[in-house]
Amino acid sequence: MKKFILLLIFILTPLFSYSTKVTGAYAIAIFDEKGNGENVQHVRKTEADYNGTCYTKVYIIGNSFNLKPVVKIGNSIGHYQSSRPIYGKVRKIKIGEVMTFKHYAVTKGHIYVSFKGKLYDRKVFVK
């Protein structure tokens, strides 16, 4: 009986250990290599051209448990660079993260933000 309980614990523990509580993931900014950029929260199309190498900032609402979202601009997949936690004002608990991704060989296309196969944001078209 003890062996059965231990086996059950070892099987069920990995299933629940990677559960995330992400409720939203949004692209908030895009920058070029020189640091010139724009806020893309409430726009449908960027004003500047971001051909070549550029950076995107993505806001994750909730606890991502050290998993990274997939961020794409057209066919260019973003590579994770850094992260900064966001804390609430009153209780000082973590409510989200801002992650920076670097994109190589960007031509044009929509910014796709997906987390564990679920698409969260795809509204901004990058020139």
Give the domain 20-126 fold.
Immunoglobulin-like (2.60.40)
Instruction: Give tens-digit pLDDT for 52-64.
Output: 999 999 999 988 8
Question: Of all residues in the chain, what percent carry a pLDDT higher than 90?
Answer: 65
Query: What confidence score (pLDDT) does residue 73 get?
Result: 95
Calculate mean pLDDT across residues 13-41: 83
Q: Quick check: 67 pLDDT over 60? A: yes
pLDDT at 65: 80
Residue 98 forms beta bridges with which residues? 59, 84
